[in-house]
A and B are shown apart, each in its own frame.
Chain A
Amino acid sequence: MSIIDEIKENVIRGHIDVNSKYPPDLKEIPGVRDLVNKAVGNGTPIGAILKEGLIAGMEVVGKKFSDGEYFVPDMLLSAQAMKAGMQILEPLLKGEETKKLGTVIIGTVKGDMHDIGKNLVRMMLEGGGFEVIDLGINTPPEKFIEKAKENPGAIIGMSALLTTTMENMRISIKALRDNGLNNKVIIGGAAASQKFADEIKADGFTRDAAQSVQLVKRLMGLAA
């Protein structure tokens, strides 16, 4: 197995480094941090380590999650392993290699304090290569407007759990449009549906966090 394949495999297994306790069967065996250090030291191209090792590993992780073979904690362990590798690569990356796929502004709408679903979407999007601006819970329309003005190309993600707060998605979208902002808006949360998304003129609806990356990629023209 090449060192890049080893890096990819260790990202998939969520094995950070030789000191990590997880996964138990890889205890005291070199992990992503050790392998990336080694690869950099022996002159392996940085771009290859990043794309064919770290990113390729996370793509497999994303698929495993979508296929029901991984839990969120598995995915987060992999994300930590990838991050350990990225900390070594980042100072060495240049220009195009450091560019994010795009920006997504997310928040739970006004009146709603539920944020686990929104946080999962943030983790998924970050793992998928996007920059995420998280506005938190109980987000008034003005806050979405302010961030949308600062990030004209960003997609906006709104979340609501309650039937009595989902109307604030409609109000927030209207406020964006009334302010001349045409950022694409996606919605999610227990109370939301595609029908409701169509009704309030949202550009997309995501049933769960796992689908959010594909939806954002599609809206940004990065996937079919």
Chain B
Amino acid sequence: MNTNKLVIDNPDKLLFGTASKPVKFRRGFEIGSGEVYPEINFTLPQMIIEESSWREIKNIYTEIIEEVCKRAVDLYAPALVVEFELLPPMTINPEWGREITEILSGKLEEFFIKYGLKSALRATPVDIRDSDRPPLMRSGGMAEKMFRSFELCASAGADILSIESTGGKEVHDEALVNADLQGIVFALGVLAVKDMTYLWDKIVKISDHYSVIPGGDTACGFANTAMVLADKGMIPKILAAVIRTAAVARSLQAYKMGARGPGKDCAYEGPFLKAITGIPISMEGKSSACAHLSCLGNIASAYTDLWSNESVQNIKLLSTYAPVVSLEQLIYDCRLMNIALQDGRENSLKYRDWMIKSDAFFDPQAYIFKPDIVMDLSRKMIEAENPYNMVLSAVEETLKILRKAADDGELKINDMETRWLDILSMQSDTLPRDEESLTEIISTGPYAEKYLPEEYGL
């Protein structure tokens, strides 16, 4: 994919439910063609996944999908995407992942035939390469099992393949808590990009072989970790905002390698990816408070094509089980967005702008999702000649934008945040201009023992 030019280059064209490159599914619907659909994700309650509990686990998934589909039919959901995020034991034992995929896919097919419920199943194996430190990203049994898991999920009825990949996380984790931009940029701009290139080449090939859609990746392990730590007051929100935009380059790499979307729900960098590629995205906001808190409750839905709950445990609430509750909330949110879309461009944009204005000025992480800023930043990023320089550009421009917003009084940040805005700007000014120089610096510093260069082709 050529990313030298923004596919969506006008802020008013960046809108929920509409993408330049819609994705079509076998059960009769398209994502990004003028309607927003719910994407429901659920997980097991507190229990051990092992041979002895496997039968019970299969029953739980069968019950959840049955109830979820029933509710979707009852509430006239125009279509439904179900995400099956495999748990580590289900990826380590790829057959287990296959069995659950089969259960979910079978039930979706049954509801399509019986009730006409349009649907797609996204399967997301876990990046189990992260099981050891330093991780073996290319060699070793975990990588092999993970790719096998993709194959088995694809063969068992998944429609979309995705992953929350972790290449570079072993360096990023340490750099993040130290607010060390050098380490962060190395993790995202060098290691993560190289791993994404390697990983997505394989995922796209598997997808093509089984005629399924290679969806997309997410910087969850990087930028969402930062978002959650910032929410707990552990790191500056300014830093979390910078990491979000710095993560665009690595997530974009999936599309450059052939991923077609819809993007992964927890990839909050999605709006930038949508502007650059025109590919439909999935997002989560207030609807995912069941999984984690965020400062992007409404603004996250401003540009989305699928609206997700991230994940919810299968526990009983007053009304019913949590996945059904989550789905109902998603369906109602989608209804409102779809009514706005049916009411014409002007009203759709008004609704979008309300969602933006309700969040944008409270937090730097929300501020960067203003449509004009998404456009400006995306444009600056794609001017860079390579992914490393794209990360540098994202860091520099985001810091500039946030400083201007703070100086103009448009964005309220406290003294602690201002202090870190200064420190991060100082750090940004001294970042090496090319990846070879930074790689050289890192290879003799404290991060050197955390990663294996050969596992990244370095």
* Min CB–CB distance B89 → chain A (angstroms): 7
Q: Does B233 contact A (CB under 8 A)?
A: yes
Given A72-B234, A119-B177, A164-B49, is A137 in contact with B131 using a C-beta cutoff of 8 Å? yes
Chain B residue nearest to A80 in the complex (CB): B178
Which one, A69, A72, A138, A167, contacts B48 given CB within 8 A? A167
Q: B46 to chain A: which residues have CB within 8 Å?
A: 163-164, 166-167, 191
Which residues of A sit under 8 angstroms from B87, Cβ to Cβ? 162, 164
Minimum CB–CB distance from A54 to chain B (whole Å) comes to 20
Nearest opposing residue in chain A for B166, CB measure: A113
Contact of B88 with A by CB under 8 A: yes
**Closest CB of chain B to A74's CB: distance in Å?**
8
B75 to chain A, nearest CB (A): 27
The answer to whether B48 and A73 have CB atoms under 8 Å apart is: no
**Does A136 make an interface contact (CB < 8 A)?**
yes
Which of A21, A72, A138 has a CB less than 8 Å from the CB of B229?
A72
Separation of A123 and B174 alpha carbons in the complex (Å): 11
Interface pair B178/A164, CB less than 8 Å apart: no
Q: Are B133 and A116 in contact (CB under 8 A)?
A: no
B235 within 8 A of A: yes
Contact B235 A72 (CB under 8 A): yes
Are B235 and A73 within 8 A (Cβ)? yes
Determine whether the beta carbon of A116 is less than 8 Å from that of B48: no
Min CB–CB distance A189 → chain B (angstroms): 12
CB distance from B140 to the nearest CB of A (A): 14
Residues of A within 8 A of B428 (CB): none
Q: Which residues of B contact A153 (CB under 8 A)?
A: none
B45 touches A (CB below 8 Å)? yes
Contact B131 A138 (CB under 8 A): yes
Q: Mark A146-174, 1 if CB is under 8 A from B, else 0.
A: 00000000000000001111111001000
Within 8 A of A (CB), among B127-144: 128, 130-133
Pairwise interchain contact B131-A116, C-beta atoms closer than 8 A: no
A115 CB within 8 Å of chain B: yes
Asked if B229 and A24 make an inter-chain contact with CB atoms under 8 angstroms apart, the answer reads no
- Chain A residues, Cβ within 8 Å of B333: none
B232 within 8 A of A: yes
Beyond A73-B177, A73-B235, is A22–B423 a contact (Cβ under 8 Å)?
yes
How many A-B Cβ pairs are below 8 Å?
82
B26-47 vs A: 1/0 string, CB under 8 Å?
A: 0000000000000000011111
The secondary structure that dominates the A interface is loop
Q: Are A73 and B131 in contact (CB under 8 A)?
A: no
Inter-subunit contact A68/B44 (CB<8 Å): no
- In the bound complex, do residue B225 and residue A163 qualify as a contact, i.e. CB atoms below 8 Å apart? no
Contacts A/B (CB < 8 Å), 27 sampled: A22-B423, A68-B233, A69-B416, A71-B233, A71-B235, A71-B420, A72-B177, A72-B235, A73-B235, A73-B236, A113-B130, A115-B173, A116-B177, A116-B229, A119-B173, A119-B174, A119-B177, A162-B87, A162-B88, A163-B46, A163-B313, A164-B43, A164-B44, A164-B47, A164-B49, A165-B88, A166-B46
Closest to A22 in B: B423
Asked if B63 is at the interface (CB within 8 A of a chain A CB), the reply is: no
B1 within 8 A of A: no
The chain B residue with its CB closest to the CB of A115 is B173
For the complex formed, measure the closest distance between the CB of B226 and the CB atoms of chain A, giving whole angstroms. Answer: 10
Closest 8 CB pairs of A and B: A73-B179, A167-B48, A163-B46, A72-B234, A72-B177, A113-B130, A68-B233, A164-B87
B450 to A: closest C-beta gap in Å: 12
Interface contact B416-A113, CB-CB below 8 Å: no
Task: Please tell me if B336 contacts chain A, counting CB pairs below 8 Å.
Answer: no
Min Cβ gap B142→A in Å is: 10
- Can you list, as one digit per residue, whether each of A48-79 has a CB less than 8 Å from chain B (1) or not (0)? 00000000000000000000111111001000
CB-based contact B177/A76 at 8 Å:
yes
Q: Are A24 and B426 in contact (CB under 8 A)?
A: yes
A111 at the interface (CB under 8 A from B): yes
Report A104-120 CB contacts with B as 1/0, cut-off 8 Å: 00000001110110011
Tell me, yes or no, whether A28 is within 8 Å of chain B by CB.
no
Please judge, given known A-B contacts A116-B225, A164-B48, A167-B47, whether A71 and B236 are in contact too, CB under 8 Å.
Answer: yes
Chain B neighbourhood of A90, CB < 8 A: none
Taking CB atoms, residues of chain B closer than 8 Å to A116 are 173, 176-177, 225, 229
Q: Are A208 and B178 in contact (CB under 8 A)?
A: no
| B422 surroundings in chain A (CB, below 8 A) | 24
Nearest chain-B residue to A68 (Cβ)?
B233
Nearest CB in chain A: distance from B336 CB, A: 31
Known A22-B423, A163-B313, A164-B47: A137·B133 in contact at CB below 8 Å:
yes
**A123 CA / B178 CA spacing, docked (Å):** 11
From A68, A69, A111, A116, residue with most partner B Cβ within 10 Å:
A116
Q: Report the minimum CB–CB distance from A170 to chain B (whole Å).
A: 9
CB distance from A120 to the nearest CB of B (A): 7
CB-defined contacts of B419 to chain A, threshold 8 Å: 23
How far is A216 from B454 in the complex, measured between Cα atoms in Å? Answer: 40
User: Would A120 and B234 be within 8 Å (CB), given that A76-B178, A138-B131, A166-B46 are in contact?
Assistant: yes
